[in-house]
Amino acid sequence: MSVNEVVQEKEKEVEQNWEPKILVFACTWCTYAGADLTGLSRLQYPPNIRILKVPCSGRVNPQFVIKAFQKGVDGVLVAGCHPGDCHYTSGNYFTRRRFLLMRRLMEYIGMEPERFQNRWISAAEAPKFQQVITEMTEEIRALGPNRKLRDDQW
Amino acid sequence: MKRVGVFVCHCGSNIGGVVDCAKVAETAQDYPGVVYAVDNKYMCSEPGQELIKKAIKEQNLDRVVVASCSPRMHEPTFRRCVESAGMNAYFMEMANIREHCSWVHSAEKDKATEKSCDLVKMAVAKAIMNKPLQKATIPVTDRALVIGGGIAGIQAALDLANAGHVVDVVEKEPSIGGKMAQIDKTFPTLDCSACILTPKMVDASSHPNINLITYSEVEKVDGFVGNFDVTIRKKARSIDMSVCTGCGVCMSKCPSKVDSEFEMNLSKRRAIYTPFPQAIPNKPVIDRDNCTYFKTGKCGICQKVCTLDAIDFTQEDELVVTRYGAIITATGFEQFDHSVYGEYGYGKYPDVITGMHFERLINASGPTMGKIKRPSDGKVPKNVVFIKCVGSRDEAKGKAYCSKTCCMYTAKHATLVTEKIEDSNVYIFYMDVRTGGKGYEEFYNRTREKYAAQYIRGRVSKVFKQGDKLIVRGEDTLLSRAVEIEADMVVLATAMVPQEDASKLAQKIGIGYDKDHFFTEAHPKLAPVETHTQGVYLAGACQGPKDIPESVAQASAAAAKVCGLLSKSEMLTEPIISQVNESICVGCGLCVPICPYKAIDLKTISERDHGNIIERLVADVNGGLCQGCGACTVACRSAALDLKHFTDQQILAEVNALCL
């Protein structure tokens, strides 16, 4: 077997067992609390997400998102309070602007912009949290593994 | 190397029924830094906490990760727990494997276990990076500022003063009292507004702990909770307050007459005036825009007639800076400018008036001495039409919200019309009748049944003049037909809107406001009188439409919050705030406008550079103001700003851990 064949073999194997890995940056006040409520309401969603708590969605540096993609995460969701409802008054407005720029950057570098999403989920919107996570997991599953940015190309 | 202990909780079967907790603990043993990992039935229980404390001592742990429920539930519990074992509270991290895992993946046990392992790994990676944080103490000034001297402001000031705190009340008008002083009767009891308000005004003015600063406005607010430095502009009253006795001779002799704002322009006042006879302080003020002396330099009659020499034309605005521990905003409301409803003919027909005009018309001390006379010709109106929701619940022209009080005050007006005018007919055009409140529905029913007010469900399309009558054309949607009513007078129930300069004041103080410029509370349910700026509280209609009982209740609630704050001479501050690395800060100032709390300023530092002393600008975070949102950290182009406890390093460590 040539090296190429080994790599292809390996790729196949990985792809068969591949499950989307999605990182969720959740703001403490709305989305993290919304995710808590989803749990309290026992609303089920795919176990592909890992929630990282930040004080405000405005704390999420685009650098974190790029880093996550480099490390092999397949999708990133930044979720916070609805515009106008930010606990810190204006944090999510910055998130929104940064999000738009990020999407442009992702298109520019040739990565599917759907891998990076931004949603407003309040502390009361458990069904919405469930729906967003379910839909996003399916979307990322359809896109397949993130190969474009990850450091250790298989 | 850090020594991390991992404690996995079963939470009975809540977690243990889905997640293989023993396996999570076992896997955690292999994570970098972990020296001890154990699972337990109930970590938050007494034995569970003892287990953690014991392990900290025996295993010599310097970081603790608890994998259990949401930190929103038990973070304080476990922080206290590690603290009592001698560890810094912020060395404890939590992995949420209940709400975020076992409860939402109950059918996929293996996946849930795998996810729990990942969450623990992320928490461990972060915990290793955690720095010890200390709550700082800041002094608290035992003095409160109430902005606005209406019923809400007066109530808050009285409650605070009775609790032993010194209160300053700033009121922009020459007298306290606010809108309630203009109102005639109050629903649903129909007791007279002045009779219940004026004693409170007197109490406020005579209270040794209350200091009324009328005819003044807040110019600037600096500082932070416990230590607000507020600049108050005392507008020139042109009267020496210490000498004036309020005898009123000057007011009776003044030759210039202008429309009285208090009487809704229905009568005249003088250029030297008190807004109303029961004004507090009952000392006049010179309206310089309308005073002949200030306009032409001639007159000065008031000065001549004043036997006490209290008139001082040379007085100037005075700026006073005072330090306060807390601020209550109680700036109240204004009436919606309904001139956008051209079809109702306001301004064109003098007999189309607003609810507040009507209050003055029926008030015994008002321009008509309590006789309802229509403004155009002084005739007593027989047919009175009320139009509700003028500006409220109308997104196209007005405001989307319900002003809440109009249904009740229109019912009150209808009652008063039928009581005062014999053989009168009252028609009320409404969209819905909303009478939530104690005794309100009963009052409304009485208005319909006993006083025979005719409620017509529908909007008015046009009001026009025919002879000396006003024809009100509208629709009765319940009968699906057009109606036309010959009216002698039309009263519009206009929406309640915040003060025109409310947004400016909010910006000065640094609190939020919504799209309608009402001030926003910290939480609509659980923190309705707090704002997102610590130490600033809300009372009354500045937060949203409210009637008198609600304003009073909220004012007392705000006062109770302030009492809690001022009862201690020092307070603890949250240590999760931004910090500046001065050595790499370039002083670009990008962070300054981004901060919603005005917590960042630029300061000049001097340092040694190649043997020379140079001065340069760097960002400076005010720990008392910073609330720890982290918006500035992302804006910082040189990465000099970082948020304690959520540093770039910590978040990236979590991201890394997830992907390993």
Q: What does the pLDDT read at residue B470?
A: 95
Determine whether the interchain pair B596/A90 forms a contact, defined as Cβ–Cβ distance below 8 Å.
yes
| Model confidence pLDDT, tens digit, residues B363-394 | 999 999 999 999 999 999 999 999 999 999 99
Structure tokens at B49: 């906490």
Q: How far is residue B361 CA from its own chain's centroid? A: 32
Q: Which residues of chain B have pLDDT under 70?
A: 660
Three-class SS state of B289: coil
Whole-number average pLDDT of chain A:
90
Structure tokens at B648: 């770039």
Structure tokens at B580: 């500046």
Nearest chain A residue to B534 by CA distance is A88
Distance in angstroms (rounded) separating the CA atoms of residues A43 and A30: 17
Nearest chain B residue to A130 by CA distance is B104
Instruction: Identify which of B227, B419, B203 has the alpha carbon closest to the alpha carbon of residue B322.
Output: B227
| Model confidence pLDDT, tens digit, residues B604-624 | 999 988 889 999 999 999 988
> Most B CBs within 10 Å: which of A24, A32, A36, A146, as the mutation test of the B interface?
A36
Cβ atoms of residues B444 and B388 within 8 Å = no
**Which residues on neighbouring strands pair with residue B536, listed in sequence order?**
B327
Domain B135-235+317-332+499-570 and domain B336-497 have a common topology: yes
Instruction: Identify which of B630, B648, B535 has the alpha carbon closest to the alpha carbon of residue B577.
Output: B630
Determine whether the interchain pair A84/B514 forms a contact, defined as Cβ–Cβ distance below 8 Å.
yes
Q: Does the pLDDT at position A154 exceed 50?
A: no
Q: What pTM did the predictor assign?
A: 0.76
Determine whether the interchain pair B100/A51 forms a contact, defined as Cβ–Cβ distance below 8 Å.
yes
CATH of B135-235+317-332+499-570, one of 3.40.50.1820, 3.60.20.40, 3.50.50.60, 2.60.120.380: 3.50.50.60
% residues pLDDT > 90 (chain A): 69
Q: Which residues of A touch B70 (CB under 8 A)?
A: 32, 36, 39
| Model confidence pLDDT, tens digit, residues A78-124 | 999 998 778 888 899 999 999 999 999 999 999 999 999 999 998 88
Q: How far is residue B88 CA from its own chain's centroid? A: 36
Nearest chain B residue to A95 by CA distance is B631
Structure tokens at B124: 């461990």
Find the mean pLDDT for residues A19-42. Answer: 94
Determine whether the interchain pair A38/B72 forms a contact, defined as Cβ–Cβ distance below 8 Å.
no
Q: Which of residues 596-625 of B touch A (CB under 8 A)?
A: 596-597
Determine whether the interchain pair B108/A39 forms a contact, defined as Cβ–Cβ distance below 8 Å.
no
Count CA atoms within 13 Å of residue B347 on its CB side: 7
Q: What does the pLDDT read at residue B68?
A: 95
> Most A CBs within 10 Å: which of B13, B629, B656, as the mutation test of the A interface?
B629
Handedness of CA B249, B252, B258, B262 (dihedral sign): positive
Q: Which residues of B touch A84 (CB under 8 A)?
A: 514-515
| Domain boundaries defined on chain B | 4-129, 135-235+317-332+499-570, 236-316, 336-497, 578-644
Q: What does the pLDDT read at residue A13?
A: 73
Q: What does the pLDDT read at residue A47?
A: 95
End-to-end CA gap in chain B: 19
Backbone angles phi, psi at B246, to 5 degrees: 75, 30
CATH of B4-129, one of 1.10.20, 1.20.1640, 1.10.3470, 3.40.50: 3.40.50
Q: Write the class of the CATH domain B578-644.
A: alpha beta
Q: What does the pLDDT read at residue A152?
A: 66
Backbone angles phi, psi at B555, to 5 degrees: -65, -45
Q: Write the class of the CATH domain B336-497.
A: alpha beta
Nearest chain A residue to B636 by CA distance is A61
Backbone angles phi, psi at B536, to 5 degrees: -115, 130
Q: Does A111 touch chain B (CB under 8 A)?
A: no
Q: Does B393 touch chain A (CB under 8 A)?
A: no
Please tell me the distance in Å from B372's CA to the nearest CA on chain A.
45
Distance in angstroms (rounded) separating the CA atoms of residues B418 and B440: 19
Determine whether the interchain pair A71/B656 forms a contact, defined as Cβ–Cβ distance below 8 Å.
yes
Cβ atoms of residues B596 and A88 within 8 Å = yes
